[in-house]
Amino acid sequence: MKYPIGIKHLSLILAASVTISACKEEAQMKEEPMIDNVLLKEWTGPYGGVPAFDLMNVADVKDAMLKGMDMKLADVDAIANNTEAPTFENTIAELERSGAELERAMAYYGIFSSNLSTPEFREIQAEMAPLFSEFSSKITQNEKLFSRIKAVYDASQKKPLDAEQQRVVHLIFTNFAMNGAALNAQQKAEYAQISKELSSLYNKFSDNVLHDEENYVTFLNKDQLGGLPEGFVKSAAKIAADKGQEGKYAITNTRSSMDPFLTYSTERELRKQVWTNYYSRGDNGDEYDNNELIAEVLRLRRKKVEILGFKNYAEWRLQDRMAKTPENAMALMEAVWPAAIARVAEEVADMQAVADKNGDNITIEPWDYRYYAEKVRKAKYDLDSDEVKQYLQLDKLTEAMHMVAGKLFNYKFTPVPENSVPVFHPDVKVWEVNDITTGKNIGLWYLDPYAREGKRSGAWATTYRSQSSFDGEKNVLASNNSNFVKPAPGEALLVSWDDATTFFHEFGHALHFFSADVKYPTLNSGVRDYTEFQSQLLERWLSTDEVINTYLVHSKTGEPIPAELVAKIKKASTFNQGFSTTEYLASAIMDMKFHLADPTTIDVDQFERETLAELNMPKQLVMRHRTPHFGHVFSGEGYATAYYGYMWADVLTADASEAFAKAPGGFYDKELASKAVKYLFAPRNAIDPAEAFRLFMGRDANIEALMRDRGFPVPVK
């Protein structure tokens, strides 16, 4: 499963504000001796300065956030109260370099929020959420500031600036306008109050899901391990021991533990229990239930955008996305949906036939889907997922990703000497990233691969410092984060093909960060239905011969993966696409439908059931993210009415992948790779995404490649 870039707190603070610059030139910094909180201090050391992760402490968080926001607001007030006529330099450029102290503190806050959450931190987080919202409102509702921004914007419409300046002005002006900068005083107050209420609800939503992930653990006895792979059993034993249950085996309430258990366990009742725990997160009818909270979020979102003159939240949100309108987004999903559920029917028939042949006397239920799909995979393609897994070692996959980065981006990844760069947990490893030709340092890559208590579920990428050049070139500090179950001591970490794909996906985000070549920090902002494209594109290199033949070696023997097994993998490439496409699309369609519906008296659970019934959702599977734990959409606003973006980006991905497949040098064609870096990766948001894609492909994208890619019938024009 792919997860979004970024961290919840960033969307809360910056969604309605300008992007804060990574740092300031020394001459422009406020007096450093006045800063006594380590989380606010300028980063020192190698690589242009690095976060002092070894010194961070929860006790410093609240003070850092409060002081950091005050510093940012002081910067903003200085810009707003400048008596000189508004210009790009004294208004927009100054905004770009404002709030460096808060930006540094936010890097630490993000670690506590996503990687090292504790009850103590969650109390601070709940207290800070409304304050962050008030802070954002103070910026976007600063009339003097917006007046200056608008003056620069209006002037740029008459006399355009250079291309990057023009884009920055457009993005900042649009962001302020979308977030109520032009409202009257009464409307602004109401808008700010709603934003504040929402911020607290988002925080509560996340805490509820995390509670259910941490507290619904299934412990097994030795006689309940039927079908489970050896490596998984060893990991489960260690997790149980760590939880004080020596001699038992723990199935945690996370995808990385649930998914393999449902795939291999022969214990049907236990499969049902583990499935129920996972898909009932936030939906257990207790104090951590999210259903009414979601209803209130929907009501407040509708009320908020109505103040701005929009009919619904989706219409407001999509105006600056590639899709532009909810109708366009729905049209794409509705074009794919019939083929997806038709394929599910075929997959279920195949599974039921296997169950009947085995005399299992069952009807396929959702907790059976992965188990019997695996049996069908073996029967149809003679492909055993656990056999494939023996060749997918995380360390080797990491090497493979670095090789791909070298071939496509000219990057060399080198582990930093131990203890030379601070880390926030012993599991975190760090590599320096250099240009192969010049030796120039691009930045650092942090990898935090393992699940732990207090770490949010899923996989994601983020930056601690983004590239920009207008105040001196900034080295990029980027991070990939996963939730692999840590192997027993001395054992290799083996992952599924899907997990390997996700690993490459998130690394694609990191490469997007590293390859950025923009002048202004705001140009690093992503367009939500485009930002997954680059990472989805990088997934395709996992199945290239250069990766398979060199890095897929057996964990015990070291032997390369046999050619006949590779042939089976490629032959089965569209296997189970009904399941993966339908579970994803169901979530994406529900996201949109929720925000188009009248939220006045909405019953979330009933609306989910009835909408899925209208869609003819197959009863043998569920949404990838059921509504009560749909963090993409309800723990913040980054993916609200935008979860369709993965499918939108996949249209672009399939199209671009076909271009690489047809190139003289295939996926490692130097000319096409250079063109991809130039137009698809380096510009970030400095170019309109649709135009960037046209510059690469020479035309707009179309859906045919996506349908071919998934093995679905191509629609007749």
CATH number, domain at 596? Answer: 1.10.1370.10
My answer on whether 482 and 589 are in the same domain is: no
My answer on whether 29 and 138 are in the same domain is: yes
Position 120 scores a pLDDT of 96
Band (343; pLDDT cuts 50, 70, 90): very high
Position 4 scores a pLDDT of 33
The neighbouring-strand residues paired with 432 are 414, 444
Residue ranges making up the domain that contains 238: 216-279
Position 33 scores a pLDDT of 46
Radius of gyration of the chain (CA): 25
Q: Which residue in 402, 403, 476, 500 sits closest to 684, CA to CA?
A: 476
My answer on whether 425 and 536 are in the same domain is: yes
> Could you give the CA distance from residue 455 to residue 450 in angstroms, rounded to a whole number?
9
My answer on whether 135 and 103 are in the same domain is: yes
Band (323; pLDDT cuts 50, 70, 90): very high
Band (714; pLDDT cuts 50, 70, 90): confident
- Residue 65 forms part of a structural domain: yes
> Could you give the CA distance from residue 303 to residue 322 in angstroms, rounded to a whole number?
25
490, pLDDT greater than 50: yes
My answer on whether 404 and 521 are in the same domain is: yes
My answer on whether 581 and 529 are in the same domain is: no
Band (527; pLDDT cuts 50, 70, 90): confident
Q: Which residue in 352, 89, 392 sits closest to 231, CA to CA?
A: 392
Number of domains in the chain: 4
CATH number at residue 162: 1.10.1370.40
> Could you give the CA distance from residue 52 to residue 44 in angstroms, rounded to a whole number?
8
Tell me which of 92-96, 122-126, 525-529 is least confident.
Answer: 525-529
Position 645 scores a pLDDT of 94
My answer on whether 229 and 275 are in the same domain is: yes
Q: Which residue in 334, 367, 340, 339 sits closest to 351, CA to CA?
A: 367
CB atoms within 10 A of CB 675: 16
The neighbouring-strand residues paired with 197 are none
Per-residue HEC secondary structure of 552-601 comes to CECCCCCCECCHHHHHHHHHCCCCCHHHHHHHHHHHHHHHHHHHHCCCCC
Position 29 scores a pLDDT of 36
- Residue 425 forms part of a structural domain: yes
Band (1; pLDDT cuts 50, 70, 90): very low
Position 27 scores a pLDDT of 32
Band (543; pLDDT cuts 50, 70, 90): very high
Position 717 scores a pLDDT of 64
Band (8; pLDDT cuts 50, 70, 90): very low
Residue by residue, DSSP assigns 427-447 as T-EEEEEEETTT--EEEEEEE
My answer on whether 537 and 637 are in the same domain is: no
3-state DSSP assignment of residue 218: strand
Band (23; pLDDT cuts 50, 70, 90): very low
Provide mean pLDDT across the span 393-421.
Answer: 97
> Which pLDDT tens digit goes with each residue over 600-655?
999 999 999 999 999 999 999 999 999 999 999 999 998 999 999 999 999 999 99
Position 715 scores a pLDDT of 76
- Residue 310 forms part of a structural domain: no
Top pLDDT among 526 and 300 is at 300
Band (528; pLDDT cuts 50, 70, 90): confident
- Residue 45 forms part of a structural domain: yes
Q: Which residue in 104, 97, 92 sits closest to 176, CA to CA?
A: 92
Position 357 scores a pLDDT of 96
Band (526; pLDDT cuts 50, 70, 90): confident
Residue 717 structure tokens:
């024009």
My answer on whether 335 and 462 are in the same domain is: no
My answer on whether 108 and 66 are in the same domain is: yes
6, pLDDT greater than 50: no
- Residue 568 forms part of a structural domain: no
Sequence letter at residue 246: E
Position 262 scores a pLDDT of 98
Q: Which residue in 629, 634, 586 sits closest to 284, CA to CA?
A: 629
Residue 401: alpha-carbon gap to chain centroid: 18
- Residue 209 forms part of a structural domain: no
- Residue 323 forms part of a structural domain: no
My answer on whether 424 and 507 are in the same domain is: yes
CB atoms within 10 A of CB 70: 13
Provide mean pLDDT across the span 43-57.
Answer: 96
Top pLDDT among 242 and 27 is at 242
Provide mean pLDDT across the span 407-426.
Answer: 96
306, pLDDT greater than 90: yes
Provide mean pLDDT across the span 386-414.
Answer: 97
Provide mean pLDDT across the span 370-387.
Answer: 94
Work out the angle at residue 433's Cα, subtended by the Cα atoms of residues 95 and 445, and round it to the nearest 5 degrees. 70
**CB neighbours of 141 closer than 8 A, spacing ≥ 6?**
180, 181, 183, 188, 191, 192
* pTM for the full predicted model: 0.87
> Considering the chain, what percentage of its residues have pLDDT values greater than 90?
91
My answer on whether 38 and 173 are in the same domain is: yes
Provide mean pLDDT across the span 468-490.
Answer: 93
Domain end marker among 527, 559, 591: 559
- Residue 447 forms part of a structural domain: yes
> Which pLDDT tens digit goes with each residue over 245-273?
999 999 999 998 999 999 999 999 999 99
